[in-house]
Amino acid sequence: MNLSDILKYRALGFFLAFIALVTLILTTSAHAAPYSSAQLQSLHHPVPGGVAVIEITGIPKGKHPAPSARYLNKPVLVTPTDAGQWVAIVGIPLSVPLAPQSLEITLGGKKTTQIFAIRDKKYREQRIKLKTNKHVDLSPQDLARFEREKKLQDDAYQQFSAQLPSNLLLDRPVKGPLSSPFGLKRFFNDQPRAPHSGLDFAVPTGTPVQAPAAGRVILVGDYFFNGKTVFVDHGQGMISMFCHLSVIDVKPGQSIARGQVLGQVGATGRVTGAHLHWNVSLNDARVDPAIFIGMFTP
C-alpha cells in the first residue's frame, strides 16, 4: 500500500468517526419534535403516584419566553405542543391528599396559579410473614449505611436540568414480563414498608438494560437495598433509576443515547432473585413508569 492509499484510508476513518460523533450528539442532546395535545393527554392520569398533564392558560398570542411551573415548591417539566401551546407534565407523589392541587406558573415575572383535581386510586397490598424480624429490622450499622446512601439518591432525584427529554413516551428498558407493579403496599410481619416506587421486570441475570430516553448519568453506586444502581437525568426533572444490576456499563457524567445499553440485570442488593427495578421521577415525585410505556391500569 502506497502513501496515497494510506492517506485516503486515514481520511475515510476520520470522516466515519466524525459522522458517528455527530450522530451521537444529535441523538443524545436534541429533543424530539413537539408532541400533539392528544399524545400528551395519554400521560394524563392525575392520581397519587400518577401524572397530571395541564395546559397552561392565559398566555397571549405572539412570541413569549417559555413559562416555568412549580408544584409543591419543586420545578416542573414544561413542554410545547405542536400547536404552540405550553403544557406542564406534573408528577404527583403517592402521599398527596385527595384535595385540589395548585400549580404555580411564572411568565415574564408574573405569577399565576392553576388548580387541578386528584382522582383516587387503590393499590394492591402484599403481606409477608417471616419467621423472625432479622430481615425486617435493620442493624444500627445497616441503618447508618442506608441513611448515607439515601441522601445521595435524594440529591440525584432533585436535579433539574434545562433541556427537554428526548422523548416523553418512553421505551421499555428490558423486554420481559412485569413481576411487581408500582404502588404495591408491602407489610413484613404486619410492619408497613414504603410502597413500591417502580416497576419490576422478571428477566434473567445478564439481560441488557437500555436507556428509555437519552440523558446524562448523574449517579452510579452499589447500595444496601438497591444493589448496583444507575440514575439517569433525562431533562427537566425526569429521572430514571435502574436497580439490582449485575454489571454497570456507564460512568457518572456520561451522556447516553436513547436505547444505549447502560448495564445488565442482576440480583444485587436486598432481593430474592434476578430482576430489574425501574422507577421514574418527575419533579422529585416517584410516579408509575407504566404511564410512559402505555401499560397503566386505572
Residue pLDDT, tens place only, 3-43 = 455 444 454 444 434 333 333 344 334 456 689 988 999 99
Using the predicted structure, report yes or no on whether residue 220 has a pLDDT greater than 60.
Answer: yes
In angstroms, the CA 112 to CA 104 distance is: 6
Q: Quick one: pLDDT band at residue 132, thresholds 50, 70, 90? A: low
Residues with Cβ within 8 Å of residue 144, at least 6 apart in sequence:
none
Residues with Cβ within 8 Å of residue 215, at least 6 apart in sequence:
28, 165, 166, 232, 233, 234, 235, 240, 255, 256
Cα 161–155–97 angle (5° rounding)?
Answer: 90
pLDDT value at position 18? Answer: 39
| Proportion of the chain above pLDDT 90, given as a percent | 71
C-alpha cell at 75: 420545578
221, 242 in Cβ contact below 8 A? no
The least confident of 87-96, 126-135, 141-150, 220-229 is 126-135
Please tell me which residue, 22 or 215, carries the higher pLDDT value: 215
